[in-house]
Chains A and B, each alone.
Chain A
Amino acid sequence: MHIHALDSYCPGTSPVHRLDPRVKLLLTGLFILTAALLPEREWGAFGVMEGLVLLTTLLSRVGLLRVQRRSAVALPFALAAVTAVFATPGRVLWTVPFLGGTLSITESGVVRFLSILARSYLSIQAAVLLAATTPFPDLLWGMRALRLPRPLVAIVGFLYRYLFVLADEARRMLQAREARSAAPDGRGGGTVAWRARVTGSMAGILFLRSYERSERIYMAMLARGYDGTVRTLSPPSLRPTDWIVGALVGGVLGLILLWGRM
Chain B
Amino acid sequence: MLFSTLHPAPILMHIPDGFLSPMVALVGWVIAAVGVGLALWRSREALGERQIPLMGVLAAFIFAAQMLNFTVAGGTSGHLIGGALAAILLGPWAGILTMTTVVAVQAILFQDGGLLVMGANITNMAIVACLVGYGVYRGVRLLAGERRWGLLAGGFAAAWTSVVVAAVACAVELGFSGTSPIGIALPAMAGVHALIGIGEGLITLGALALISVARPDLVEMGRAKAAGGFRWTLVGLAVALALTLLSPLASPYPDGLERVAENLGFIEAAQEAPYTVIPDYTFPGLSNEALATIAAGVVGTIIVFGLAVGLASLYRRRRAAEA
Contact = CB atoms under 8 A, between A and B. Distances in A.
B6 A39 contact: no
Interface of B: 2-3, 5-7, 11-12, 14-19, 21-22, 25, 36-37, 40, 44, 48-61, 63-65, 67-73, 78-80, 85, 89, 97-98, 100-102, 104-105, 107-112, 114-116, 174, 178-181, 184-185, 198-199, 202-211, 214-215, 218, 252-253, 272-273
Contacts of B116: 29, 32-33, 36, 123
Contacts of A39: 272
Contacts of B209: 197, 200-201, 204
Contacts of A123: 16-18, 114-116
Given A3-B2, A166-B60, A37 B22 contact: yes
A158 interface: yes
A110 to B, nearest CB: 14
Interface string A73-109: 1101100111110011100000000000000000000
B114 A124 contact: yes
25 contacts: A74-B16, A74-B114, A84-B181, A87-B181, A123-B16, A123-B115, A131-B108, A131-B109, A131-B110, A149-B40, A155-B56, A159-B101, A166-B64, A174-B68, A186-B71, A192-B72, A199-B79, A203-B80, A203-B85, A204-B208, A206-B64, A206-B65, A207-B85, A208-B211, A214-B54
Contacts of A149: 36-37, 40
B218 A211 contact: yes
Contact of B180 (A81, A139, A193, A211): A81
Given A6-B6, A32-B116, A167 B67 contact: yes
A171 B2 CA distance: 9
A89 B65 contact: no
A35 B78 CA distance: 34
A23 interface: no
Contacts of B206: 196-201, 203-204
Interface string A102-130: 00000000001000111111111001101
Interface residues of A, number: 95
Given A119-B18, A128-B111, A165 B202 contact: no
A12 to B, nearest CB: 17
Given A131-B111, A208-B215, A200 B6 contact: no
A151 interface: yes
Contact of A127 (B61, B65, B114): B114
B243 to A, nearest CB: 17
Contact of A205 (B7, B25, B105, B210): B210
Contact of A210 (B36, B61, B184, B272): B61
A136 B110 CA distance: 11
A179 interface: no
Given A6-B3, A196-B202, A120 B180 contact: no
A51 B7 CA distance: 29
B48 A80 contact: no
B16 A88 contact: no
A55 interface: no
A145 interface: no
Contact of A199 (B59, B111, B203): B203
B105 A200 contact: no
A29 B218 CA distance: 40
A230 interface: yes
B53 A202 contact: no
Given A32-B17, A120-B16, A84 B207 contact: no
Interface string A126-168: 0110110000100100000000010110111111111101110
Nearest to B211: A204
B44 to A, nearest CB: 7
A163 B19 contact: no
B115 A28 contact: yes
Contact of A169 (B44, B64, B210): B64
A189 to B, nearest CB: 10
A77 B19 contact: yes
A229 B107 CA distance: 27
A151 B17 contact: no
A170 interface: yes
Query: Which of B68, B107, B215 gathers most chain A CB within 10 Å?
Result: B68
